[in-house]
Structures are given as structure tokens and as C-alpha cells.
Structure 1
Amino acid sequence: MALRVRLTQADLDNVRFAAGPAPILEAILAFASFERRTPTRTTLPPTIRPLFSLVRDARGPVFLDPFVADPQWGLELVRSAPKALIREDMERMWCVKPPLWLRNLADGDSEQRQVVGTAVRYWYQRVIEPQRHRIEQVFQHDIAMRTPTMRDVGVVGLLNSIHPNLTYHDGVLTMPHPLDITCDLEGQGFELRPTTQWAGRPLWSWSSDDPSRFALHYPALSERTRTVQQPTEQALAKLVGETRAAVMHALKSPLSTGELAERVGVSISSASQHACVLRDVGLVRSVRDGQKVTHSLTMRGMTLLGFGQV
């Protein structure tokens, strides 16, 4: 199962880093991470239990995801979400009829809106508010670390370096998803949003306050990362061998095995073998789509070429 986002050149031109973290969105990501590893709910405060019905396997409702920097404004957007948006969320998340209280919520029940608002506020105040400064620091650190990659190898290279489960090839951005979905952005592009609160697969969402505002959420690079000096081409060749160094240089942009073989001037079987060796040490990732295998550099591979940092 995968989410496929078809990107035009206009979309690629509009890929940008978000200005800063959205505290309520971070709170929901934190809860999604918490929900996955919590064996029992009966010992948890009753105040937050409604969130277990809303955030399921990292598939939270859109109305809980405002991309706003002010937490109070974000909470207000959650409490005042349009009924149509909540209904759409319920239909998307529940294959069967949702619990009665969620149906009442979708019908605009003020009491249930208050229940949800209180749960989100309670969770935010205890989990996100105490670490907001750190969240901001890590967010900006990730952007500072990835900006050279975008500058040196472009948006495509950046997208292919963000996460092992995220690939861009032939105009399509692909990531794991519980359902098979294909979507178009119609030139809107999307925001890149590093997060400290989620360590799983890349997540795709759109803002509750602006349905045309899409975002890709991914685990942020650690503050402990450091700059690595770029090796010379001769040093790289000594490290991995001349042919594999050529393979790495060729994979600054994603290539199929056949394209890689042609670019480097080796047989297809040889190209596949070299890519396999580089993949085993974390410098290259390979993604199979039917009979076709596409190879690209990982963030570590880009760093070794001097296009990124680890």
C-alpha cells in the first residue's frame, strides 16, 4: 500500500520548508506515536481518552491538524472546525459506523466539541508546551542541515534524501500508507515539516485551516548531527572503489538499473551488484516497482559526496 503524489514542475517549484513548527499538530503527532506503543488505556487520565478514537495508526483527522504557530489559535481552530470537515474525516477514518459521540461531534454537538478541545489542550500542555523551545530548535536545525542539499542537488535530490521510505521518480512522490491513494496538487506544492514527535514513516497531511496547503512530515535530524568534510573524488574512489564512486555520482538523481548501467558504462548485472553493495552500507536505497528497480542516494550517501550533513 502506498500514497502516490503526482508532482508537476509547478509543484516542485513550490516545495518549501515550513516557517516553524505547529504546536497543536506536534501534539497530535506525539499522541500518534504514543498511541502505537501504549498497551493499556485504562490507567490514562479520562480527559485524553477521546483521542484514542480520533488518532488511529497515525491517521488523525484533518480537523486536528492546524498548521498555525500559535497554540491558542490552533486550539480554537480545533474547537470550531466546520461540520463538513469533521464528517469527511469520520467517513475517511471509519469503514463502519463510528461511535455515537463521534457522530454527534460531526453533527456539531457543542458538548462533544468541548470534550475534544479539552483533550487536545490537556495533551498539548503536558507533552508539547514544556519542550516548545527544543522543538523549535530541532525544527530549525533540520532545515539548516538540509538546505545545502536542496541548493546543491535540487528538490528531487532533497526529497530522495529525507527518509528511506520516501522516493521521488518520474514525477511521483511515493511513501507507505495504509491505503492505496494517488493525488494531484495542481501546482500548489507542499511544505516540508520536520518533527521531533514522530519517528515512523513519512506522513502526508493538509491543514485544517487551508485545504490547499499540503505538508510532508518526517523525523527531524538530531541536534547532535555534525558537518562532514567533503572528500575529494580520489579519496572517495579509494574508499569505495572507482566504479562505485562513479555509481554514487550518477545517483545524484534517481536512476533505474538500466539507466545506471548506461550512465556508468557497465553491464546491468554489474550496476545492480554495485548498487546492492552500496545499499548494504546505507549509501544507496533501491525501490522496486514491478519489474523496475530505481536507485538513489540516501542522506548518508549525499553527505559522503558533500551535498548534505549527518
Structure 2
Amino acid sequence: MVATVGAVVTLRLTATDLGRIVLRSAPAVLLELGAAGQRLLRPTVPEHLAAWRARCRAALRPVMRPYLDLCRRPDWFPDFLTPPRLGSDLEGALAEVDATPAEVLAAELRPAVEAGHLPPRVAPLAAADPAARRRLRDAMVAFHAVAVAPYWTEIVAAVHADRAVRGRAMVDAGIDRVLRELSPHLHFASAGQRYELSYECAFGADVVLSPAGRGVTLVPSYLVPQPAVRDDPAGPMVLAYPIRPTRRELTTGQPLADLLGRTRAAVLGAVADGPSTSELARRLGISVASASQHAATLRHAGLIDTHRAGPSVLHTLTPLGGDLLRAGSGR
């Protein structure tokens, strides 16, 4: 991911690109993890993240250092730590990181080590040493348990709520309105057949990128501090962006988890934008059977509604479910 205040990154889009814009429905677990690592090292954070950062810093352990070493630079983050699939399931995402070819590790890490941007202890990982790979995985799991896992229900609910707003805007006003109101960090302009989506960066020089018909996948994020682009020539361009800031403190959502159980509370939070059962399972990293069972329990309690749309079974919040979700999140 490249986060390149002075410079501007501009995505120059064609009409074909506009037609191929996709807005992700769930947060990407490794994107949130990397943003969490970078947030810890920034001099300031928004008010709603201050208590979260203090808790994370107090819980840091030496085992996490191999991962946090790679989060040191505010202007750069290794692409191999945010694989193109950008999934929500931690184990699946870690498997993608584990499969990173040795030449990719060398290309991304060795120049940074040699230039002094990363500490010398990263060199074994740059050389694809198996023990260094295992230490990195252990570090990612340990840091995730402290900085992301306890807050995942709240992160998922916030991202889904933001996407639901964009979905309504798409239906009511079209993609132009969606892009203009997507994020205070992003600026959309159109003139004739020319469309540009841009944002300011703290580092680097002005950059113009063009998907050239490949489209753009928009990835909403709770923790990323500013937009960032990942350009994979084999697929659509990926633009991660922070959802609109909240005044609420990021909490564990523990009262709701105590009431419903952590997984069932996560299912309730994930229902905000009307997912199918298989989408629920994929987002939360559980089996389809488990997602169906939890949805049935919530439906019988009057917290969600379920209806069939073609081959899919879709779930939506009832007013009671929405009220409970907001109350459980301290809203």
C-alpha cells in the first residue's frame, strides 16, 4: 500500500472504470491490522481512538515486534502484508501472506533494510528465512488479538453502516453522488468524459494513476488514517479509504457480546446491509451452517428478518435489532 500533505494522488477514470466500481461490503482484516500498527506510532490519533491506542500500547509484547517493525513508516507499508483478496477471515489472509514468494519478500524488504528504513533484524525475513516467516505470523496473530479482534464487532458494524448509506445513495442518486460523498479525504470531479478521484498525501510527489478500464474496488476501513492505493495489474485498482469519522470511542462491544455471545453479536452487527447467509459466513470466518444457525436464533428473537431473493437468503435488521445494536455499541 502506498500512502504518498502537499502531494496529490489522482485516479483518472474512464466511463468503463465508473461502470466497474465495486464497494466492498466488509472490512479487510489485514488492512485494519496494518493500520492499527501504524496508528500506534503516530504522534496523535482522533479522539475516538485515544483510549483504544492506550490499551493497545499497554498490551504490546516482544513477540509482536517482527510485525510492528514493518509498520514503522507512515508513508509506506509492504504490499505482501495486504494480499489482493483483502479478505475478512484472519486465517485465510494469513495463509496468503505465508505463501508470499521469496522474490517478493526480497523486492519489498531488502531495499528498505539496506536504506536504513527498516531495522537490520528484518533482513532474515527479506531473505525468506523460514524461522523469520514463522515469527512474523506469530507476531501478526498476537497483535491481532490485542488491537483488532476485541473490536471486530464494532469495526464490522461501522463499515456495514457506512456501506448501507452508500448503497442508498447509489439507488437514489447514482455513482456520481456516491463518489462525491464517499469520504472527506476524497475529492471527485467530472468534466465531459473525464473523471478524477483524488486525495492529498503527507509524503511523496504528485501521482496520476489510471485503471484503464480495469475498474476500482473501494475498500472502506475503520482504522486507516488516509486513503491508500494498491495497483495490481492483474485486477482492478484497489482504493482503501477511511469511513467518515465517528465521535464514539472504539470499544469492544462487550455488553452486547455478553448478552448474545461474541459470534452472535458479530452476526447481528454484520446484518446491517442485508447480506446473504454465505456472505455472513465469509465476513466473519465461520461456516455457512453456523451462520445459518445464528441467523435463525436472531430471527426467532425478532432481531432480524430473513427473505429469499432468487437463490439467496438475505438477512436485514428489524427496528428492534437496530436499537439493540446501537445500544450495545454505546451509540
Aligned match for 1:4, one of 6, 10, 13:
10
Q: TM-score, normalised by structure 2?
A: 0.58
Q: 1:44 to 1:130 in 2, by over 3 A?
A: closer
Distance 1:15 1:43 in 2: 39
Please state whether the residue corresponding to 1:217 is helix, strand or coil.
strand
**1:173 aligns to what?**
197
Question: What's the offset of the Cα at 1:124?
Answer: 0.9
Aligned match for 1:15, one of 12, 21, 36:
21
Deviates more, 1:172-181 or 1:119-128: 172-181
**2:239 aligns to what?**
216
Distance 1:91 1:151 in 2: 47
Q: Which residues in structure 2 correspond to 1:105-184 (within 5 Å)? A: 105-169=125-189, 170-177=194-201, 178-180=203-205, 181-184=207-210
Q: Which runs of 5+ in 1 are unaligned?
A: 226-310
Please state whether the residue corresponding to 1:136 is helix, strand or coil.
helix
Please state whether the residue corresponding to 2:174 is helix, strand or coil.
helix
Question: What's the offset of the Cα at 1:5?
Answer: 1.8
Please state whether the residue corresponding to 2:91 is helix, strand or coil.
helix
2:113 and 2:123 in contact (8 A); partners too: no
CA RMSD of aligned residues (A): 3.1
Distance 1:130 1:142 in 2: 20
Identity percentage of aligned residues: 24
Q: TM-score, normalised by structure 1?
A: 0.62
Distance 1:120 1:142 in 2: 27
Aligned match for 1:195, one of 212, 217, 221:
221
Q: Which residues in structure 2 correspond to 1:240-255 (within 5 Å)? A: none
Distance 1:131 1:43 in 2: 14
Distance 2:135 2:97 in 1: 11
Distance 1:45 1:96 in 2: 27
Residue 65 of structure 2 corresponds to residue 49 of structure 1: yes
**2:33 aligns to what?**
27
Residue 141 of structure 2 corresponds to residue 96 of structure 1: no
Distance 1:62 1:29 in 2: 13
Aligned match for 1:87, one of 73, 98, 106:
106
Per-residue Cα deviation, 1:116-145 (whole angstroms, up to 9, x for no partner)? 111111111222122222222111111111
Q: Which runs of 5+ in 2 are unaligned?
A: 1-6, 45-52, 249-331
**2:43 aligns to what?**
37
